[in-house]
Amino acid sequence: MTGPLEGIRVVDISAVVSGPWCAQILADQGADVIKIEPPTGDITRTGGFGNDDISAMFLTCNRGKRSIALDLSNEAGIDAVKRIVATADVFIQNFRPGATERMGIGVDALHEVNPDLIYVSISGFGSTGPYSQWRVYDPIIQAISGVVSVQQSMDIPIPDLVRTIIGDKSTALTSAQAITSALFARATGKAGGQHLEIPMLDALLYFLWVDNFNDKTFEAPGKPGVLLHDVYRLQSTADGNLVYFAVSDSEWEGLCKALGHPEWWEEPRFYDVQQRLAVYPEIGALLDATFRQWPTDEIMARLLEHEVPSAPINEHDDVFTDPQVVHNGIVHEWEHPLLGTTRSAKPPVRFSETPATGRWSADSLGQSSHDVLTDVGFSDDEIAALAADDVI
């Protein structure tokens, strides 16, 4: 594989999404990622939309990695991890706090093996605190971070979850960026190995603060403001649905004209965004009734003509035929050796001087066990002994 991270070796012992997707981002950028799994495999292998031991979610979070299956309840399995880590640059784990220390592969133990190792600990809430030992999935982090509380429309004020794993994925992106920063610090002599602790709660709250917590930024703000989640609008039309985002006064003027009601622009009660929000029940009813008179294609043309940010709502299948998605070539299709025609979203970054050409397929469980162990110096006899003892 080629790319800006070519020559970097990552050991990924994490499971589900937050750690595995972080490691896959590094693989997409050229890193050699070794995924260490228990003999039963990553839990996502058994998910739907797949065959054999490769589900759609597993492939999407683990393509480009080499899989080795190791029994880490066995001392020989822990020794194998340490020998692999001795050749690595990065180690990623997302076990509950304290678990890797009890297993003998905590940060101190692995820094004894490899002092230059970037050791990454992803957890739900951090290594200490009242929630640190909670069993965590994405919806739990959404609830604590406040993200659920803002997932409601002013028209239908019922809170809801974000129906994508925003906590896991924002943590994966944060972790991948942090890892490359730590590698840069090591390469430039600012540090050697170090420990990166990344709680999902912290990552998601950091992600949300940009817009959802503006009202909490200053203790005593000098002027009121508007939170963006109060301005988002999903709107039905005569034959479908669209979204529009008219925040500025010029966009509000364009919206009034596009809908055929320029007089609303002159209405003093609708003078600015704060006044419009104050009388939203009235203005919302006017907007809804008017939008529902227009077919989606016709009103979309008018909205774009008047430079009102807007878009039709694609159904799940429509995404693949959307003109801009097709133009950007976002969806990559290839033939998987076991699963046949397979699709994934391409990595979004195009490097002009270090283009990445990663592997698209994902290993079956333990597919690369022999190759990985050979790479790190195990003899054929040692590998055979591990297999005989069911360590691999």
DSSP string, 66-92: EEEE--TTSHHHHHHHHHHHTT-SEEE
- Residue spans per domain, the chain: 9-209+327-388, 241-312
- Reduced to 3 states, what is the DSSP secondary structure of residue 31? coil
Q: Residue 264 class from Cβ within 10 Å (0-12 exposed, 13-18 middle, 19+ buried)?
A: buried
- Encode pLDDT of 203-229 as tens digits: 999 999 999 999 899 988 877 777 877
The DSSP bridge partners found for residue 120 are 92, 196
Q: Which among 119, 95, 93 has a CA at the least distance from the CA of 35?
A: 93
pLDDT mean across residues, the chain: 93
Is the model's pLDDT at 274 over the cut of 80?
Answer: no
Q: Do the domains 241-312 and 9-209+327-388 match in fold? A: no
Q: Which among 375, 380, 337 has a CA at the least distance from the CA of 359?
A: 337
Confidence label for 156 from pLDDT (cuts 50, 70 and 90): low
For position 276, what pLDDT does the model report?
Answer: 79
- Reduced to 3 states, what is the DSSP secondary structure of residue 288? helix
Confidence label for 151 from pLDDT (cuts 50, 70 and 90): confident
Quick one: average pLDDT of 194-204?
Answer: 97
For position 271, what pLDDT does the model report?
Answer: 73
CA distance 3 to 1: 7
Mean pLDDT lowest for which of 7-21, 29-43, 258-272?
A: 258-272
| CATH 3.40.50.10540, applies to 9-209+327-388 | yes
Do 44 and 16 contact (CB within 8 A), yes or no?
yes
- Encode pLDDT of 113-137 as tens digits: 999 999 999 999 999 999 999 999 9
CATH architecture of the domain 241-312 equals 2-Layer Sandwich (3.30)
- In one-letter notation, the amino acid at residue 53 is D
Do 22 and 179 contact (CB within 8 A), yes or no?
yes
Measured between alpha carbons, how far apart are the two ends of the chain, in Å?
26
Angle between helices 249-258 and 296-305 (to 10 degrees): 140
pTM for this structure? 0.92
Residue with token string 């965004």: 273
**DSSP assignment letter at 347:** P
Strand order in the sheet with 233-236: 233-236, 241-244, 310-312
For position 150, what pLDDT does the model report?
Answer: 86
HSE-CB of 199 using CA atoms within 13 angstroms: 20
Is the model's pLDDT at 155 over the cut of 80?
Answer: no
CA distance 328 to 348: 10
For position 246, what pLDDT does the model report?
Answer: 86
- Encode pLDDT of 38-73 as tens digits: 999 999 999 889 888 999 999 999 999 999 999 999
